[in-house]
Structure 1
Amino acid sequence: MYKIGEFVELTGLTKETLRYYEEVNLLEPAYIDPDNNYRYYDDGSYFLALLLIKLREFGFTIQEMITVMEDESFEHLEELVLEKRKNIQMQIRKLQQTTQEIDEFIASGKEDTQ
């Protein structure tokens, strides 16, 4: 079992993030000491924390992360990650189109001044 400070060092998550994740039922401590309310995390918690960190890096929203965590078997995890990938690729295409339109706009302005 890891005390919250140790778990923070292991995962890189802040205490505030851990408390928030607990509040929204993303990552609950493995044990809360009833005498002092100290939170303890275990190796399973560590695995879940690493998964949450990776999902955040992938741009998952809190609600999307909750959807992943509610499916405790992670049966649909690959599907959700692939959907996120598809959305990111669509955003990239839109941004590339926008940059092309900006370039065309700038070029047309230069043509008008010549």
Structure 2
Amino acid sequence: MSARVSIGDFAVMTSLSRKALRHYHEIGILQPAHIDSHTGYRFYDTGQVDHAHIIRRFRSLDMSIPDIKALLSTDDATTRAEIITTHLEHMEKQLQQTRDTVGELRELLSPVDTPAFVTVRREPALPVWSIRATLEESGIDSWFSASVNTLRSAVAATTGAPSEVVPGGLYDRALFLESRGRATLFVPAPLVGQPPEGVRAEILPEAEFAVLTHPGGHDGIDRSYAALGIYANEHLISDQGPIREHYFGGTQSTPTTFTSTEICWPVFSTTPPTP
């Protein structure tokens, strides 16, 4: 048998403050059982305690108000399980992101290591198909994904079959310095055929680089950039040309998921160009 109780008693039973109860009333997820028309006092029913506990618990776990409304409005066990499972998966993802962030912060407590595996390499002139744009730093990711797919499709359409494509990128220093600059994504040009509209054919000039291979894509790549930059400036003569990257391990189904990223830092040439 349920009983009507004052808002004060209900707050004690549910650990929800007057402010929280008023808010949940206003947004429609926990209505008072009765509101006195003369005083405006809110009264609740003891049968509402379980709902109040559900709301408080899931709000403490950052479940959204729409999901809580959906949870409370259904008696279907499958639907409830789906809502809770989806939120648990979201929490697990956030937990992993927190773990990754903690790992990165711990790494920052140690100085940048100057790697022993930097190589100096002269890249010959390379015919490529490319897409170029002037971008804000915040827009690079979406442009990168679209450009990789465009270049892969262009090569596949020309060669008649999907092929293993190793894309590369050129990034002006203005992107790092001013958060806006020119970026170029490229793939080695097929032996036959012409690039489609929107893709240009060009030849990357011969250049010399200090090269470091970073595992994976761009997660944590700032530390690899730091290590390579230290090496290039302490042991070589840094050139101010664009930074070059090569992306390995992408597939047709996951074209922007890479097993490694080769960072190429331009350095002043110490060897004569190839005749």
Structure-2-length-normalised TM-score = 0.37
Name the one with the larger strand percent.
2
Residue 5 of structure 2 aligns with an amino acid whose one-letter code is Y
What residue in structure 2 maps to residue 78 of structure 1?
81
What residue in structure 1 maps to residue 16 of structure 2?
13
Paired with 1:73 and 1:31, the residues of 2 have a C-alpha distance of 24
- Runs of 4+ with deviation above 6 angstroms: none
TM-align CA RMSD: 2.2
Local SS of the residue matching 2:43: strand
Paired with 2:76 and 2:8, the residues of 1 have a C-alpha distance of 28
1:2 corresponds, among 5, 21, 34, to: 5
1:100 corresponds, among 99, 103, 127, to: 103
Return closer, same or farther for 1:39/1:105 CA change in 2, 3 Å cut-off: closer
Cα deviation for residue 34 of structure 1 reads 2.3
Unaligned runs of 5+ in 1: none
Higher deviation after alignment, 46-55 or 35-44: 35-44
1:1-114 → structure 2 map (5 Å cutoff)? 1-69=4-72, 71-73=73-75, 75=77, 76-107=79-110, 109=112, 111-112=113-114
Paired with 1:27 and 1:7, the residues of 2 have a C-alpha distance of 12
Q: Check conservation: 2:5, 2:44, Cα contact below 8 A.
A: yes
Cα deviation for residue 106 of structure 1 reads 4.7
Cα deviation for residue 104 of structure 1 reads 4.3
Q: Check conservation: 1:68, 1:74, Cα contact below 8 A.
A: no
Cα deviation for residue 107 of structure 1 reads 4.1
Paired with 1:36 and 1:105, the residues of 2 have a C-alpha distance of 59
Name the one with the larger helix percent.
1
Unaligned runs of 5+ in 2: 115-229, 231-275
Residue 42 of structure 1 aligns with an amino acid whose one-letter code is D
Residue 14 of structure 1 aligns with an amino acid whose one-letter code is S
Larger Rg: 2
Local SS of the residue matching 2:38: coil
Structure-1-length-normalised TM-score = 0.80
User: Relative contact order: is structure 1 or structure 2 higher (C-alpha 8 Å, sep ≥ 6)?
Assistant: 1
